[in-house]
Amino acid sequence: MSIVLPQSVGEVKLFDTTFRDGFQQGGDMQMSDDDALKTLRRLDEMGVHYAEIAFGGAHKFGADLIQAASKLSFGQLKLAVFGRTRKAKTAVKDHPDIQKILAAEVPVGVLVCKSRLVDVLKSLQTWPEENLAMIADSVQYLKSAGLEVILDLEHSMDAVCGRGGYGEKISEDDARLNLSYFWEVVDRGLVAGADSIVICDTTGGASPEEVAELFDRLTSDYPGVEFGFHGHNDNDLATANSRAAILHGARQIHLVINGHGERCGNSNACSLIPRLQLKDGIPLVTLEALQQITSLSRATANALNRDPSDRAPFVGNFAFGTMAGMHAAPEAEDSSGVRRNPGEYFQCQPEAVGNTPFIGVNRQSGASNIMAFSKAVGVPLNGAQAKEFGKRFKEIIEAGGFEISRTSFILACRQVCGDHQEFFQIGDFEVTSTCVSGLLRNKAEIRVSANGQPEEHIVANGDGPVDALAKAFCKALGQFYPAIKQVHLGGFNLLALNVKEQETGALVRVLAEFTCNGCSWETVGVSTNSNEAALKALIDGYRWFLQEIAPQFKKEVAETTAKTAG
């Protein structure tokens, strides 16, 4: 099958709307002013043309960002502020959205207008001609103030495709009226002086075929006019629709870092840019900028306190990951250190987008995956050791533990190959929860020994069973290694999994997070008992600290060993 792409697409302007439309996603999207400014600088460095930073200062973050960003100087990036066209029967100079755009002192004003007849009549409750006048007055007013004006045509894809509320098809007569009115809106916006007209798939119900057909006509009927596209992801087609728009003539595309946005999100910059550049040959950014897109994705997710999606195309941790042995074999190196058939299961070179290949281990994996992954982490196992690894750590592999914790995988490899330090030994432990006078009390007891010294028996209370166990264990371990107290235990993530063949009981997987002096690491524990799973994760976490994070412990361990021997 051969798909013919346009001979020359021409320049496509990238319009980032992370701080406006992206922030309309639920879940309390928040970012510090400092992180927001860093993100804007990164967008500028990548070659993005526009950044829509606020809805006319509608909330404090937007107002603060407008003020802070106005003090910065950018290269190519232009700051834009969004607002509605004037209200019906209201002077444009008195409309608050228009005045807030002007007060922001940005070079670009983005105006949104109704382009579907039914919305004019029912939502705005005004006449079609008055809406056209509202558009013209608002565009002309901002143009007279020296701004570049981008006109967003809300519901324009639904207007063209004959859809009404809930995306349902409307009568043929109503569809004709809506389509005719859409063309009137386009004409009026251009006559008023809009620099670009943006087609909005407001409900995310369009298809790539519909988008392509519309842009073919737009570019044919309005040669030389800059049309853009703003896609929503309600049908999981935002990125595909944006691609179709560009391939058929769009010269401005609206994107959000990581695809955040209202309801199901917006067109994802981190998917669309690599796709168009690497597969369609459309140079949206420089090759150097493209190599920063994974970093941009993850830095933005961190700034929003959101976990990056491991499965995100191009930029996810597992985007270039292989778990099944057959898929990992081409990436494995032979005895000469040469990979057999690199890239057989990868859609592009990971380095092109700043990502790295990942060979992981889960229940689909065989010895070849274990060998390849162990070599990647610097603890290579041979065939026999890999088979031993699979038997010894079957439970963790079944639970996907090594997918989420490289630290625990490294420690497990060291155990198998005999390069492992115990540092401490765990004796008995017990966790109890009792209800006293309506209050739940959690108590943990644990026995810990190290380097032949007398065993420590510690009791501790906690907010929950796992918390009590963590406090008791940390206190006991601190008797032997005082620097353990410097380690901050960030928390636990418990997940119940019913993956055992006999299904006699669900496995519990616990992920523990640690930080110390700027270092962070995660470990995993798996058991049918949540307390035991948590303890296993704690054991790995503190052993990693003693072996890797705190080299000063070599001296402390040597002194302790010398005292014991003496």
CA angle 350/316/509 to nearest 5° reads: 130
**CB-based contacts of 50, cutoff 8 Å, min separation 6:** 13, 14, 15, 16, 77, 78, 79, 80, 108, 150
Length of the chain, please?
566
Measured CA to CA, the distance from residue 99 to residue 330 in angstroms comes to 60
Q: Within 10 A of 139 (CB to CB), how many other CB atoms are there?
A: 27
The closest of 557, 21, 520, 10 to 266, measured between CA atoms, is 21
Residue 35 pLDDT more than 60? Answer: yes
Segment 314-350, tens digit of pLDDT: 999 889 877 654 445 555 555 444 456 677 888 999 9
| pLDDT given at position 332 | 54
Spell out the alpha helix ranges (H) of 193-282. 208-221, 238-247, 269-274
The DSSP symbol for 74 reads: -
Segment 257-275, tens digit of pLDDT: 999 999 999 999 999 999 9
What's the 3-state SS for 484-547?
HHHCEEEEEEEEEECCCCCCCCCEEEEEEEEEECCEEEEEEEEECCHHHHHHHHHHHHHHHHHH
Segment 424-448, tens digit of pLDDT: 999 999 999 998 888 889 999 999 9
Q: Is the pTM of the predicted complex or chain greater than 0.85? A: no
For 126-137, the DSSP string reads: S-HHHHHHHHHH
Chain position carrying tokens 């049309």: 227
Question: Average pLDDT for residues 390-416, to the nearest whole number?
Answer: 90
Element (H, E) at 461: strand 456-462
Measured between its terminal Cα atoms, the distance across the chain in Å is 79
The closest of 272, 296, 292, 406 to 351, measured between CA atoms, is 292
Measured CA to CA, the distance from residue 343 to residue 339 in angstroms comes to 10
Contact between 259 and 271 under an 8 Å Cβ cutoff? The reply is yes
- 172: helix, strand or coil: helix
Domains defined along the chain, listed by start: 13-285 (3.20.20.70), 425-565 (3.30.160.270)
Question: Average pLDDT for residues 187-196, to the nearest whole number?
Answer: 98
Segment 135-167, tens digit of pLDDT: 999 999 999 999 999 999 999 999 999 999 999
**CB-based contacts of 95, cutoff 8 Å, min separation 6:** 84, 85, 86, 87, 138
Q: In the structure encoding, which two tokens stand for residue 219, read together? A: 């570019």
